[in-house]
């Protein structure tokens, strides 16, 4: 099933998206991660559409055909997701799924501004409070210390200019390191289209700068930033590949401590960081089953 390209997925914002399914159906929003694009959902999108969902997969800020802006802090990314939902699901709450950086955005929505959503699914990273607040416990701190060597690229991205210059080679390196047994050529080609020049690569890298460097972050976003690391307020499905070479599985061992009681954590066997691409049938089954249990009705409230 080929997707539609929505050049304006949120009126008043420069956000493009891929879409599958009946425009009148309940909505699922799929948020891609790094280094990736909305095309990462080319298996899950049709699977959800076949189950009667309208699926909207935005290209996040700076990933063409979505435009470049000057603001990449978590508050702006959360606001973009809400704008997409408001444009496509006014009469009932939507579901929200995110992978990698998309998972961080989804986690922040569920913690800081959950209105309009019924439930969330997070792939490949734990909910944000499990990483940050979990480090206050000895076991969580040990997991974070063990994770540090795998997160070297985040420190590298703080170097202005250099990271943008070597971007294409670095992005290819990360794909090969994080999905060594998966043929990522199509995904990397989509990425080259989405980040065609230094300005777009700077946009993608600035997500990390805004998250980790308070001098880059907008002061106006401070409240959202703090709330993003609080407990999630929506039912959460957290999926992590057993063979993930980007994020350690044990980083999310206590993830459910920061989620509502009707949440679940599943480690997907024989899958890595891009688990929805490496094990599309298994992940598709898990997500479609989860979505069916949270299917909203018109006028329902979360």
pLDDT tens digit sequence for 234-248: 999 999 999 999 999
Q: What are all long-range contacts of 130-136, with beta carbons under 8 Å and residues at least 24 apart? A: 130/251, 130/252, 130/254, 130/255, 130/257, 130/258, 131/251, 132/229, 133/229, 133/258, 134/251, 134/254, 134/257, 134/258
Where do the structural domains in the chain lie, given as residue ranges?
4-293
Work out the pLDDT band at 12, boundaries 50, 70, 90: confident
- pLDDT attached to residue 168: 86
CATH superfamily of 4-293: Alpha/Beta hydrolase fold, catalytic domain (3.40.50.1820)
Work out the pLDDT band at 300, boundaries 50, 70, 90: low
Residue 302 confidence (pLDDT) above 80: no
- pLDDT attached to residue 257: 94
- pLDDT attached to residue 143: 75
- pLDDT attached to residue 148: 83
- Mean pLDDT rounded to a whole number for the chain: 91
Work out the pLDDT band at 70, boundaries 50, 70, 90: confident
Mean per-residue pLDDT, 218-242: 83
What digits encode the pLDDT tens for the residues 179-206?
Answer: 999 999 999 999 999 999 999 999 999 9
Mean per-residue pLDDT, 48-61: 98
The pTM of this model reads: 0.94
Q: By mean pLDDT, which of 62-76, 122-136, 238-252 is the weakest?
A: 122-136
Mean per-residue pLDDT, 169-187: 95
């Amino acid at each position: 099933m080929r997707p539609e390209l929505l050049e304006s997925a949120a009126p008043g914002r420069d956000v493009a998206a891929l879409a599958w399914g009946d425009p009148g159906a309940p909505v699922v929003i799929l948020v891609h991660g790094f280094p990736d694009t909305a095309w990462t959902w080319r298996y899950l999108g049709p699977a959800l559409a076949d189950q009667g969902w309208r699926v909207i997969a935005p290209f996040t800020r700076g990933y063409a055909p979505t435009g470049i802006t000057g603001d990449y802090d978590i508050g702006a990314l959360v606001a973009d997701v809400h704008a997409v939902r408001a444009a496509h699901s006014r009469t009932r709450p939507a579901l929200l799924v995110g992978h990698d950086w998309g998972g961080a955005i989804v986690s922040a929505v569920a913690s800081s501004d959950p209105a309009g959503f019924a439930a969330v699914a997070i792939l490949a990273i734990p909910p944000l409070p499990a990483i940050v607040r979990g480090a206050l416990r000895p076991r969580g701190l040990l997991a974070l210390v063990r994770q540090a060597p795998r997160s070297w690229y985040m420190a590298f991205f703080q170097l202005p200019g250099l990271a943008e210059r070597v971007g294409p080679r670095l992005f290819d390196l990360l794909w090969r390191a994080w999905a060594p047994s998966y043929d990522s050529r199509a995904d990397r080609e989509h990425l080259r289209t989405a980040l065609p020049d230094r300005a777009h690569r700077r946009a993608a890298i600035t997500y990390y700068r805004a998250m980790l460097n308070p001098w880059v972050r907008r002061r106006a976003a401070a409240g959202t930033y703090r709330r993003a690391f609080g407990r999630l307020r929506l039912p959460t499905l957290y999926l992590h590949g057993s063979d993930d070479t980007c994020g350690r599985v044990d980083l999310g061992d206590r993830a459910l401590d920061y989620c509502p009681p009707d949440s679940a954590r599943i480690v997907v066997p024989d899958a890595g960081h891009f688990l929805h691409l490496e094990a599309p049938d298994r992940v598709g089954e898990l997500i479609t089953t989860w979505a069916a249990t949270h299917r909203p009705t018109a006028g329902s409230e979360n």
